[in-house]
Amino acid sequence: MMIENPSVWPNVASAAKPELLDSLHLGPMPFPVVPGDVSQGYAIAEGVDQATADLAWSLIELIASPEVMTSYVELVKTPAARDAANAPLLTNPDTAMIAEANSKAVPLVPNEFLGVRMRYADFSTEVTNALRSILQGTSVADAMTALQAQLTAKGITPLG
């Protein structure tokens, strides 16, 4: 058994010995899990000039188009934000369970926490650093105090 995200499936399927391929299958994790949240989010940085913002918006429109999202799903076997783009996943029992899990997804960070969502990359890095420090022997209280200080220093607050 291997616990991994859906995008690993094409790699596993292409690397498998041909005689094993029919024996390899995907399945849901054997314990409660709530999948979700943004994994491929796109945004336009603050402070860019109008020409750059226009180009960025054109790219976002292209990436978010039904055609590109469907192509992405077909290639990577990972669900997209547009449910209709996930139709290729339903053609195979192994990838159909990916689409089913996606339909149950909920935001991991509530939308009300706009400050965290806007700076999620920085937030995630600091939380990872805090967890790493706990694993290396820092007390939970000290790690959480340091995490709060880092988030405050970076201007990351739950409500923005």
The per-residue pLDDT for range 98-111, each reduced to its tens digit, is 888 877 777 777 87
Judge if 133 and 148 occupy the same domain: yes
Most distant CA pair in the chain, distance: 56
- The per-residue pLDDT for 127 is 93
- The per-residue pLDDT for 1 is 56
Judge if 60 and 96 occupy the same domain: yes
Judge if 102 and 114 occupy the same domain: no
105's CB contacts (< 8 A; 6+ apart) are 34, 35, 36, 37
Query: pLDDT tens for residues 137-158?
Result: 999 999 999 999 999 999 898 7
Judge if 113 and 53 occupy the same domain: no
Query: CA-to-CA distance for 91 and 131, rounded, in angstroms?
Result: 40
Judge if 47 and 2 occupy the same domain: yes
Judge if 149 and 101 occupy the same domain: no
Judge if 94 and 154 occupy the same domain: no
Number of structural domains (the chain) is 2
Query: Given a cut of 70, is residue 36 above it in pLDDT?
Result: no
- Residue 43's domain comprises 1-108
Query: CA-to-CA distance for 113 and 78, rounded, in angstroms?
Result: 26
Judge if 149 and 159 occupy the same domain: yes
- The per-residue pLDDT for 58 is 97
Query: pLDDT tens for residues 44-91?
Result: 888 899 999 999 999 999 999 999 999 999 988 888 888 899 999 999
Query: Given a cut of 80, is residue 27 above it in pLDDT?
Result: no
- Full-model pTM: 0.61
